[in-house]
Amino acid sequence: TGFLQCCDLKDIKLAYQVNKVLEKGDNWKFLDVDRLNGYWSKFFSLLCMMEQIEVVLKWYKEMSPSLFYPTPKNILDLLQALDAANQLEVIPSVW
C-alpha cells in the first residue's frame, strides 16, 4: 500500500504529508483498522528514527493509546530514541 511506502523509504517529509491527508475530515475511514494500525506503527517508528526526542515524545503522548497501541517494536524504538538522546529518565513517564 502506497501510504506505508513513505515510512519504508524513511522519508519523514512525505510521511508528514501523508499524515496531513489522513487527518483531514474523515479520510482515515478509507483505511481498515489493520492498515490504519500498521500505518501508525510505522509512522511512529520513523519518528523515533528521524526526529528529535522532544518531537517523538509529543507524538507519543498524542497518539498512544488514542490512535494506536504501541507494538513491542514501537516501545523498543522509543527506548532506543530515548537512549540516543540521553533521556532515559523519561522512561517512567512514558511507561
- In the chain, the number of structural domains is 1
Question: Alpha carbon of 18 to those of 39, 40, 79, 95: distances in Å?
Answer: 10, 11, 25, 28
The residue range of the domain holding 7 is: 1-93
pLDDT of residue 75: 93
* Distance (Å, whole) CA 2 – CA 46: 16
pLDDT value of position 3: 53
What's the pTM?
0.81
pLDDT of residue 79: 95
pLDDT along the chain (95 residues), means of 10: 60 82 74 78 91 94 83 94 95 86
